[in-house]
């Protein structure tokens, strides 16, 4: 079995990281393939909150409902 590991040093405080992850409009900064956040519920990331994003690679893209 092949195992891969990736490590990254994050030079931010835990509260700064949480603030980033809780801001739906910044989703594309930490999710690969996100080209644009089109809409984010104000109560993101609570259960039931929704994001509308455009994903893709290069010139190809797809808007998710």
Domain assignment of residue 59, given as a range: 32-65
Would residue 5 count as lying in a domain? no
Would residue 9 count as lying in a domain? no
Would residue 50 count as lying in a domain? yes
Would residue 27 count as lying in a domain? no
Selected residue with higher pLDDT from 65 and 53:
53
What domain count does the chain have? Answer: 1
Would residue 46 count as lying in a domain? yes
Check residue 59 and give its pLDDT.
74
Would residue 16 count as lying in a domain? no
Q: Is 44 exposed, middle or buried (CB count within 10 Å of its CB: 0-12, 13-18, 19+)?
A: middle
Would residue 20 count as lying in a domain? no
**pTM, rounded to two decimals:** 0.67
Check residue 1 and give its pLDDT.
83
The CB density around residue 64, as the number of other CB atoms within 10 Å, is 11
Would residue 44 count as lying in a domain? yes
Summarize pLDDT for 4-62 with one digit per residue, the tens: 888 888 899 999 999 998 999 999 888 888 888 999 999 999 999 999 998 888 777 66
């Amino acid at each position: 079995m092949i195992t891969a590991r990736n490590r990254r040093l994050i030079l931010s405080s835990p509260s700064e990281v949480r603030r980033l992850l809780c801001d739906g409009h910044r989703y594309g900064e930490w999710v690969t393939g996100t080209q644009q956040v089109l809409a984010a519920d104000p109560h993101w990331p609570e259960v039931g909150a929704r994001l509308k994003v455009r994903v893709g690679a290069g010139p190809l893209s797809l808007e998710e409902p």
